[in-house]
Structure 1
């Protein structure tokens, strides 16, 4: 059976982890008041008596409007979703053997009312197939919607249209195309005959006729409609740039965009900045962050709270305290565009409002059109090596402690048939893991009777490379058998997947019958044990580790990372800042975001000393000039000059972007990442590198130069950009582990020398002791 996995799929073909919808129903350490848009009464997750005294004071709220604002529905339309949108399709879907199938996934946007859906299938097949015993069947969410016989002549293309009943369409949908192929009217003897094939062409498509629905605005649905994880198109977000850009806006926007990056995960997200409300477009979603003084456009929005003299007022006409955050949902552009507002009467209120949205436990209790955040509990920073998408930090763990693709824990898994698919799961090493000899796994498995033990086996692979296996022992089946396998030290990478596969052969074979095949089964037990021997170290600088967020995403709440921008950042600087924040959000997973952003003149000395730094800006006003120190490898200079090793040149013009990683000049245990260019065009190339996976996952070395092969490159065409990798900086061994642990691992690594040294020392001391005893004996005599 051919199964297309979920790796590297766009939004229409990869199922979203179901755990995304898990939410906390009660947050006793935070006080948040929600404005009910219908009845106009404040509601609290708890009674005031249950809160600390500092949080029992309630604010008199104004009576909201009788109805919450809604985003008006767009006209009915048609949407065409071609199969080639999925990278698993590429040039075609190919089916081989007697029976084969392929799976694709697609989503339905939340505001679509589906009228009709059709599958337009274009296919071709081998001329050797026998028409009455060969067909292609399409199933949607487990229900067959039709079949077509494979009866075309040599080289002739077939077309088939299948109607999908609207009642079958859900938020997440699976399309299965199954091919039954025979080249004989009675019995196909060889299931591996190369003439048994058919193909579905990449221009096959799904055609939706839909009617968009209006969208009520309620924080209970957040992050929808600001981003829709079910969208078939890239989510588009626009930020309203404030009149003056200061640390409050920079940090708030960066943290919020990091959280949006986590939410959309692998799905595309397009971001831009606008200066006025009139610049917003109908297919975008707007975010406004800042106080009324920083965002004068707030007066033009229909907000649930009274705004007078740049102050939000409570129900009694008094200004809200400066440290109270205000969140609101509204619309603009004739009710076509949803707007998220994070504001307050002071910077502390703005920061608190934004932080409420990025803390998953707090955001889960939000509801209504507006929220006043009076108190917000701080979320403890996770341990540095607690990376949820990677292997556990402890050296011994079981399969049930790992996560499936939808973030569920593993249970026992049973597979059926001689061609059963492998159990595949992420086995991703932490970026600073260095595995040592002695790492092993003990696979626990069971299998059913009627297998031929001479030709049946269980095997384990890492990224398609077999690391071991065992022949099954009994034709009567086995229960809780186990096999111990050594794990290679060089195969486990931060992107690795492990496959456990049963090769089951029936004890008795009968021609043209699948009955003896389907009674075969094997089970992989969740208590399969892994024991790893590893040291914690990474060699930096290394841009390849940036592909996994290391070291900036350690810990995963980004609390050890800070971004620096020029004192007067340009739109290009801010867009790169947002793109970098989004990428860090995609590469991390935590209950909060603690990323901080500073302007060049406002960076505290303690931040330079204690945190990993990401500096963004053009060479002429780069916030951390130490990155272009002559001793720091490749450097950009004034008047379009550049220096590499002992060579120095000047270029006209210089539109290349620069990504450079180096040891921090203020702390050798920290890293400085420079994102720079000589021109705004070069800085835009850096933004595209951070945005496009096809470019970002080419990073390596310590310095990368990116340029475009065309004047106006297509941002979605990886061939439109050229990357040059430079390696000069001397790498140094870095460890994020605590010192006692490092010492223990060092002793463990050099145990042979230590043992020899200990024995030699013991012999020396023994000799010295014998000499002293002899001298004492002679003196007594």
Structure 2
């Protein structure tokens, strides 16, 4: 056997092996045990102090998920011959519409213009079925008596076209009246009126542009008068949601649902989902909704929606539909009934031809659900056309991430201005503003409702500005919700190129409705009051690579109705798949109207490619849905579907015989017309909540409906319980004193689990920092004692 000269012999190797093994027997068990003990202590400590992780929610099946998918390579249905011309709704008689300025929120009691030159902008739309014959702007105004008439005037522009000017020459206190004709051809779908005032108090040169005597006011009863000819409304799905919903309407859109003769889960869910999608389309626009029991009850400019099979909607037989009915089922051109899993969408008119009708039907519940789902999914409905759509297969839209909220801050903690979106969903680019009083750049900085911010949030503003500024009086400032955070003087006379300003964003001020404003206050080096050239040469640019860095984690405490202002937690994820609505066994019309109002509000507060909200009656609510979802329960006290909402602890509760309970207090009231909104942790799942919308009477449910529908009331929500009452029989939605709200905080809030382990550890350490040092010392002493005990035992054994 050959051996390497530099390697030990076998005997020497075995000797060294024995030497190493004897030393390892003394050293390795001690340190291995110590390491394992430290790891075990850490795991036990984490298990003891950290909340249980959120349960992973299994995908919730929808009506169409279990449906057999048809073979689209072949034609299965014989279709009727298309009509020679698309069906239409006959035009109304010519009319006049008066749009007063005080309907605009920026007008209020007056529209004031100040300084040498000032302008105000008002915007309005033209309804899709209007053909303007003549348009006039009637202005009522008054101005300062100090204005010099030959050098002061008021000019009106419509869509950039000047339609006239009037000199500001009225004596003190006199109100001026002037009427301007607008060319009908200048009116578009979206229109802008600019009121520009040039004001001077000297025949030569106004020395002080901030002189308080330079003012003109436009009175709120100024108006825009339309003389229009309505056009026929073509019924075609390629224009959907028009004519069901017109986003250019000057009046609230009016929708009426036909109540079926039997209310089941299919109708409740389909109606709720469709109305949720209308709420998304409406956004900030008003929408009036009601339920009718017969087609002839449709009035005015209402649009009728009929949902359900012919079995529960027998009035379908009275409509002029492109498909025929036989034995209570829809038939194709060969008189064969459509399968029950095929959805049918049709556009027609009421029997008198005065109002459009949308029909979402099918020969089975699955077909009805599929027809409605086609309308609520933008990716599907955009391919629709004609007045008949047969829905055979639709996309299965995946549920978005629970924290993927459109219009809110990106999920990354570091992002740029270009990652944010404008009001029309476009990415921000470089933004340039001009003038000494240039408008500020305002951008939504909306934190997700479960965001909790730590110190260290920064914004690095990158900007440039032009020359000819006065470095002593020019600056840039950053505001958060109209509170100035910081500012910086612009010091370069020759202009600045990509300068930076680091801004610390207060962690306690970033909210789900926050806005950031960047203002440039530019002052010219040579002030010349009689010339606007120097003023307009002043410019500044905010660059799209402006950076934001945030320190945040996902922590939320519930119940909290203030979070409901953003839709949380019911709108997480945004397709509403984590939410179910519970209704009484036999819903009254007041219950159904409240259901529609809640669905509309959830639609206004969410953005997604689908709607997966489900609605159940009390006896049909599956246990797995009740246990895994957030629940919204609707109904009067006598018919409330989930009485567990009023049986927890000593919280406020409605009971029978018009009684009220709160803690140890109990009273009876008559009459009780107040509405109740109450949020609690779900009795069946501590990671979910239940929202109770209830009252003792139908009048009380009407108060709850007003609370949900009116923004000025809804965005006051706070606490966990709200009582609402009307101060007059028929309250006006525009009167801030028409309702009385009482807010109660009955139970302590529970902190729900954060999104990840590191966030939970950080939250626990911050919340228990005062016991951290003693805990470390105590753990070290215990560990030291355990190690010493082990060493003594090991020594004794040897």
1:215-226 correspondence runs (5 A): 215-226=233-244
SS in 2 for 1:117: strand
User: Is the 1:282–1:333 Cα contact (8 Å) retained in structure 2?
Assistant: no
Structure 2 CA distance for aligned equivalents of residues 341 and 701 of structure 1: 42
- Residue 65 of structure 1: how far off its partner (Å): 2.5
Aligned residue in 2 for 1:505: 523
1:182 partnered with 2:197:
no
1:354 partnered with 2:377:
no
The match for 1:244 among 256, 262, 287 is: 262
**How many equivalent pairs are there?**
731
User: Is the 1:613–1:671 Cα contact (8 Å) retained in structure 2?
Assistant: yes
1:421-570 correspondence runs (5 A): 421-570=439-588
Aligned residue in 2 for 1:54: 71
1:343-382 correspondence runs (5 A): 343-382=361-400
Aligned residue in 2 for 1:701: 719
The match for 2:211 among 171, 193, 218 is: 193
User: Is the 1:79–1:209 Cα contact (8 Å) retained in structure 2?
Assistant: yes
1:77 partnered with 2:124:
no
Residues 612-641 of structure 1: CA distance to partner in whole angstroms, max 9, x if unpaired? Answer: 100000100100000111525111111111
- Residue 765 of structure 1: how far off its partner (Å): 10
1:115 partnered with 2:133:
yes
Q: Go from structure 1 to structure 2 and tell me whether the alpha carbon gap of 1:354 and 1:770 turns closer, same or farther (over 3 Å shift).
A: closer
1:262 partnered with 2:280:
yes
Structure 2 CA distance for aligned equivalents of residues 632 and 598 of structure 1: 28
SS in 1 for 2:619: helix
The match for 1:658 among 649, 662, 676 is: 676
User: Is the 2:650–2:663 Cα contact (8 Å) retained in structure 1?
Assistant: no
- Residue 711 of structure 1: how far off its partner (Å): 2.6
1:404 partnered with 2:426:
no
- Residue 744 of structure 1: how far off its partner (Å): 5.3
User: Is the 2:209–2:529 Cα contact (8 Å) retained in structure 1?
Assistant: no
Aligned residue in 2 for 1:631: 649
Structure 1 CA distance for aligned equivalents of residues 436 and 734 of structure 2: 42
Q: Go from structure 1 to structure 2 and tell me whether the alpha carbon gap of 1:484 and 1:761 turns closer, same or farther (over 3 Å shift).
A: farther
RMSD between aligned residues: 2.5
1:286 partnered with 2:334:
no
Q: Go from structure 1 to structure 2 and tell me whether the alpha carbon gap of 1:649 and 1:185 turns closer, same or farther (over 3 Å shift).
A: same
User: Is the 1:642–1:650 Cα contact (8 Å) retained in structure 2?
Assistant: yes
Structure 2 CA distance for aligned equivalents of residues 427 and 717 of structure 1: 30
When normalised by structure 1's length, the TM-score is 0.90
> Which shows bigger deviation, 523-532 or 630-639?
630-639
- Residue 700 of structure 1: how far off its partner (Å): 1.4
User: Is the 2:208–2:529 Cα contact (8 Å) retained in structure 1?
Assistant: no
Q: Go from structure 1 to structure 2 and tell me whether the alpha carbon gap of 1:53 and 1:305 turns closer, same or farther (over 3 Å shift).
A: closer
- Residue 353 of structure 1: how far off its partner (Å): 0.1
- Residue 117 of structure 1: how far off its partner (Å): 0.6
User: Is the 1:92–1:202 Cα contact (8 Å) retained in structure 2?
Assistant: yes
Aligned residue in 1 for 2:187: 169
Residues 142-170 of structure 1: CA distance to partner in whole angstroms, max 9, x if unpaired? Answer: 11111111100010000011111111111
Residues 170-220 of structure 1: CA distance to partner in whole angstroms, max 9, x if unpaired? Answer: 101111111111111111111111111110000000000000000110000
Q: Go from structure 1 to structure 2 and tell me whether the alpha carbon gap of 1:613 and 1:510 turns closer, same or farther (over 3 Å shift).
A: same
When normalised by structure 2's length, the TM-score is 0.88
1:206 partnered with 2:229:
no
Q: Go from structure 1 to structure 2 and tell me whether the alpha carbon gap of 1:595 and 1:763 turns closer, same or farther (over 3 Å shift).
A: closer
User: Is the 1:692–1:716 Cα contact (8 Å) retained in structure 2?
Assistant: no
The match for 1:384 among 377, 386, 402 is: 402
Structure 2 CA distance for aligned equivalents of residues 751 and 648 of structure 1: 39
Q: Go from structure 1 to structure 2 and tell me whether the alpha carbon gap of 1:548 and 1:418 turns closer, same or farther (over 3 Å shift).
A: same
Aligned residue in 2 for 1:64: 82
Structure 2 CA distance for aligned equivalents of residues 365 and 60 of structure 1: 20
The match for 2:760 among 737, 740, 743 is: 743
User: Is the 2:554–2:755 Cα contact (8 Å) retained in structure 1?
Assistant: no
**Bigger-Rg structure (1/2):** 2
User: Is the 1:280–1:333 Cα contact (8 Å) retained in structure 2?
Assistant: no
SS in 2 for 1:725: strand
Residues 239-281 of structure 1: CA distance to partner in whole angstroms, max 9, x if unpaired? Answer: 0000100000000000000000000111110000011111111
> Which shows bigger deviation, 219-228 or 133-142?
133-142
The match for 2:147 among 106, 115, 129 is: 129
Aligned residue in 1 for 2:26: none
- Residue 55 of structure 1: how far off its partner (Å): 2.8
Structure 2 CA distance for aligned equivalents of residues 696 and 687 of structure 1: 10
